[in-house]
Structure 1
Amino acid sequence: MGGDRLENKTSVSVASWSSLNARMDNRFATAFVIACVLSLISTIYMAASIGTDFWYEYRSPVQENSSDLNKSIWDEFISDEADEKTYNDALFRYNGTVGLWRRCITIPKNMHWYSPPERTESFDVVTKCVSFTLTEQFMEKFVDPGNHNSGIDLLRTYLWRCQFLLPFVSLGLMCFGALIGLCACICRSLYPTIATGILHLLAGLCTLGSVSCYVAGIELLHQKLELPDNVSGEFGWSFCLACVSAPLQFMASALFIWAAHTNRKEYTLMKAYRVA
């Protein structure tokens, strides 16, 4: 009788432990899957943000398409020697958009041909974009934009460089974290996901830093180059994608770290319970 009771008690203990262990695995697996989905969405948003040209948009009245002055501004905008003041003046006047890699303006299609002095309608315009070269990305900003004798503005210079570099660092950290997460799946262990969570946390900080640097840089630029009275500016959807990507990275990081840490803690408790 005593042996039967002991056997039944042992069977019940093993069954209850297995049931609890299954519930634990389901909980952690669900958190892991949700974190992976959030990580994937944030990566897509970050990549789209980096590759598009709508971090900041200007809205201005349509310009006369036959003006020699306008054509001169267009030519200076697309030239390799355009300085910060030159291309920003064009952005202000021609519904410009700015990304991390390129700057774009909206100009008439027939800008190289004679046309009567009439206002250009929406179907007569085309977007022209110019890429920032690596030299321009790391070029110093001046206290008085366009005036090389005014001295270097270190704050704006480093803000510009950070807003360009940090998104790529963020994207790289997330990709590296994804590789570690894949290794965790292959090994059937949640322990490596702590590193994945930490990498996503660093990626979120980099994304947040990039967004902050961009906002600060735009505000400082507009203090030095004031917008004309009939021109308005606003942050575009590319900037919004970066803003959304940051909290997604933080949430994914929290889920990865929670799943790995709690799984390790409860596994230790269950192991002790099983031994007892």
Structure 2
Amino acid sequence: MVDNRYATALVIGSVLSLLATVYLSVAVGTQHWYQYRIRPAPSNNAANTSELVKDFINGDFNEKNYSETMFRLNGTLGLWWRCIMVPSETHWYKEPNPKMASQCVSFTLPQQFASKYREPGNETSGEDLFRTYMWRGQFLLPLVSVALVFLSGLVGVCACLCRSITPTLGVGVLHLLAGLCSLGTVCCFLVGVDLLPHNASPSEAAEGALGWSLYLALISAPLQMMAAALFLWAARSHRKSYTRMTAYRVA
């Protein structure tokens, strides 16, 4: 028998967990983690822009090249995507203010595990282990976070089938670990973005800004931690109440 207070805590914790998982999943699947903007806007040199776009889409994976292209063409960066702004329609005449559209390229799995170098794009400069592990961490940690939430869901289902609140303690611990992984994802991404301009100096000054995808991931971390706190409180409080009730009955 579960007290109404504990049942309410479990329901609220489950809702928070669901919201956090949705927010994190949307954040991972979108590309608006970080946005570059050039002030003033880059000039529309059709020949130069077409070469940059072609190399960005079909060229070799080179951190220096795609980073400078994002700097120059108002690009956005995500965990799985890199995007630039290109004219949506091509005309035989030059439009003064063409409509712009986002052109995105996904990072492949080998690229996610690629090494980072002290001078981006220059393999002879030596591997930068710190940036390499930050890059891999921002890719792996959200996957670990989502996996922990699903595992905690399975534990919760087992607890319901067994009609016991004791496994809820494990659910709370798993949610706490998931929240730390989500927070670690944001930290790894921000550190990696902060270090990149120091290594790859853009040809034109670009202003960087945090995107809404990153804020979704940032919101998911405290939601998971609040869910963890509710699950842990419900499990421990129910256990203490059950122990006291058993001792009273024995007495």
Match of 1:204 in 2: 179
- For 2:36 and 2:46, locate their aligned partners in 1 and report how far apart those are by CA, in whole Å: 21
Deviates more, 1:154-163 or 1:185-194: 185-194
Match of 1:246 in 2: 221
CA contact (8 A) 1:207 1:242 kept: yes
Give 1:228 deviation, angstroms.
5.8
Give 1:131 deviation, angstroms.
0.6
Give 1:148 deviation, angstroms.
1.9
Q: Which runs of 5+ in 1 are unaligned?
A: 1-21
- For 2:180 and 2:233, locate their aligned partners in 1 and report how far apart those are by CA, in whole Å: 18
Letter of the 1:135 partner, please give it. P
One of 8, 25, 28 as aligned partner of 2:6? 28
Letter of the 1:47 partner, please give it. S
* 1:221 and 2:196 matched: yes
Match of 2:76 in 1: 97
Match of 1:274 in 2: 249
One of 48, 61, 75 as aligned partner of 1:69? 48
Deviates more, 1:133-142 or 1:227-236: 227-236
- For 2:234 and 2:203, locate their aligned partners in 1 and report how far apart those are by CA, in whole Å: 53
* 1:81 and 2:56 matched: no
3-state SS of 2:74 partner: coil
Runs of 4+ with >6 A deviation: none
Superposition RMSD in Å: 1.7
Give 1:227 deviation, angstroms.
5.0
Normalising to structure 1: TM-score of the pair? 0.85
Q: Which runs of 5+ in 2 are unaligned?
A: none
Give 1:136 deviation, angstroms.
1.1
Mapping of residues 165-176 of structure 1, within 5 Å: 165-176=140-151
Q: Deviations over 1:147-199 (max 9, x none)?
A: 22211111111110010010000000001101111222232211111111111
3-state SS of 1:57 partner: strand
Give 1:211 deviation, angstroms.
1.1
Based on CA coordinates, which of the two structures has the bigger radius of gyration? Answer: 1
CA contact (8 A) 1:64 1:120 kept: no
Normalising to structure 2: TM-score of the pair? 0.94
Mapping of residues 3-42 of structure 1, within 5 Å: 25-42=3-20
Letter of the 1:153 partner, please give it. D
3-state SS of 1:149 partner: helix
- Of all paired residues, the percent bearing the same amino acid is 50
One of 30, 33, 45 as aligned partner of 2:23? 45
Give 1:63 deviation, angstroms.
3.4
CA contact (8 A) 1:65 1:115 kept: no
* 1:192 and 2:167 matched: yes
**Paired residues, what number?**
250
Letter of the 1:262 partner, please give it. S
3-state SS of 1:249 partner: helix
- For 1:86 and 1:135, locate their aligned partners in 2 and report how far apart those are by CA, in whole Å: 18
Match of 2:33 in 1: 55
Letter of the 1:35 partner, please give it. G
CA contact (8 A) 1:101 1:131 kept: yes
3-state SS of 1:170 partner: helix
